[in-house]
Chain A
Amino acid sequence: MRVLVCVKRVPAVAGLITLTEDERAIDTKYVGFQVGPHEECAVEEAVRLVEAHGGESVVLTLGPAEALEQLREAMSIGANRAIHLVTDGADWDAESTAGAIVGAIRADEAANGPFDVVLVGNEAADSGGYQVGVRIARALGRPAVTGIKGLSVADGTARAEQEAASGRNVFEVKLPAVVAVLEGINLPRYPSVPGRLRAKSKPVASSSPDRPAQRLEMRRLVVPATEAKQAQVLGRGAEAAQAVVELLSSVGVL
């Protein structure tokens, strides 16, 4: 079985977000980078599929030269090799991202045969486009399932589960297929030290696709105004318990 997993390098913001002066990016002077939670799980799922069925998993990113870090990270938990579509760091909209990924898939498949499963995150952690997976599927004429929290593959069919009101919906689609996953589908492993060492010598194929005109053209980022609150301190330590009970009863939850 051949599995492709697509990841996006994003800033590891946690607290207050500050923007660059041109207001077109997050100021990352003091923050690191990572792939989003959905994609961490997608990588884990790719590695598990190959552990269960044999074959190879390939990790792909479209991003700046530094995104090699995220590819190595994925290879350190088990992805076999990587495809790096190198950009100059400019923002790519989801439609052009999908287009470049489709080009890379076609090229790899021409040499190595089809990817049985293409895994993506349900939505990118930063831009939340909700569409790269279904665009890839449409271009390749494959089925896509989205919002997936459970996946198993047997006899050329994927069984995929999606959370719905009071239960889960089950889809069954023929492979090859595109699966957009959500965090919670699995608990990703941490890379081991030998895993990190092995990742350093795994192959990375790089190319630089052209960035087409952006039809969803990001112009400016804005940090939304939130009402700046300052919590009323009810007390310190165990002594505060009585004040908390009074609060609970005054808001009617006791």
Chain B
Amino acid sequence: MATVLVLVTTADGAADKVALQALALGRQLADGGAVHALVIGDAAAAAELGAWGASSVHLAQHPQLDAPAPDAAARILDDLAGSLGATFVVGPGTEEGNTVLARAAARAGLPFAANCSAVTPGSPVTVTRSRWGGSLLEEAAIHADRVILTAAAHVFEAVDTGGSADVAAFTPALDDADLAVRVVGRVPAPSGGVSLSDAKVVVSGGRGAGSADGFGPVVELAGLLGAAVGCSRAVTIAGWRPHTEQVGQTGTKIAPELYIAAGVSGATQHLAGCKGAKRILAINKDPEAPIMTAADYAVIGDMAEVLPAISAAIRRARGA
């Protein structure tokens, strides 16, 4: 049995998906012990957490916490971990989760293991964690009395336990220094276009497009399918397309119904971003390209011929 504290990040009154997965990991680690959830600011989200495995919920409320403030979150988490005597402090393996847990570890002077896909209690605790965006795994031992880690996204299954938990609201102690890093404004997203991370279909081009102009047929097919346009890193560093379209380890992670990748070799770092796709269609002139062992379907050929032919066939099919 262990005492576990889980940071549950939220947006607009609901817990983040990955945070509920972290809560499931927390419940597993507690092994019958207490599973404390910490929510910052969001009372509506806090009220739901008993059902997702929390045995008690701590709701931090503070007038200065209306905007994200990662050091303040880290302070609250670290203080609470101390007063509960938590042996595990867990968060979601997201940008927000990783930065807050890293900051909490830095405060406490303890190690931090980001993006863990397995955790084995013991002395020392051992973890399996992602390297290279998940293309490689690391088994590591954590030598610390309090283990601070995040749960890799989409590994643990959030479990609706149907339970309930009391929500204890409190006002955390915060200094000016804790609030020095705080969101002071927002820049709205440019409107229009299909969001890459949520798109049902993504059509990507790689170096095989040959030039910025070579993307014409990629954009045309995407338009016909109502799809988002994606690309590989070879394309963004050549300046052919903006980085916002890059799929992969250092780009966007996508999970469409269908991913069409033309002229993309299928480097591990590219696959790290598209392995969530339900189906992959590769268009490549090289039948031996690595993407062939990640794709479900393939067309062997020159994308400059194949893509316009597909667009023409779609138009014909629709015209009929």
A residues sitting closer than 8 Å to B (CB atoms) are: 13-17, 26, 36-38, 93-95, 122-123, 125-131, 134-135, 137-139, 143-147, 161-162, 164-174, 182-184, 187-188, 213-224, 226, 228-245, 247-249, 251-254
Contacts and interface: CB of A to CB of B under 8 A. Distances in A.
Interface in B105-151: 105-107, 110-115, 124, 126, 128-144
Contact of A232 (B129, B297, B317): B297
Interface of A: prevailing SS: mixed
B216 interface: no
B70 interface: yes
Given A38-B250, A171-B182, 7 more contacts: A143-B180, A143-B181, A184-B244, A213-B143, A219-B140, A221-B139, A251-B258
Interface string B166-209: 00000000000000111111111100000000001100000000
A253 B200 contact: yes
Contact of B314 (A130, A219, A245): A245
B187 A233 contact: no
Contact of A253 (B95, B258, B280): B258
Interface residues of B, number: 95
Contacts of A14: 265, 267-269
Interface of B: 11, 68, 70-71, 95, 98-99, 102-103, 105-107, 110-115, 124, 126, 128-144, 180-189, 200-201, 225, 227, 233, 236-237, 239, 242-244, 246, 249-251, 257-258, 265, 267-269, 279-282, 287, 290-302, 305-306, 308-310, 312-314, 317
Contact of A171 (B183, B300, B305): B183
A184 B244 CA distance: 7
B132 A126 contact: yes
Main secondary structure of the interface of B (DSSP, over half): mixed
B138 A215 contact: no
Given A14-B268, A254-B317, A166 B189 contact: yes
8 contacts: A174-B180, A184-B242, A214-B143, A230-B293, A234-B299, A236-B299, A237-B301, A241-B309
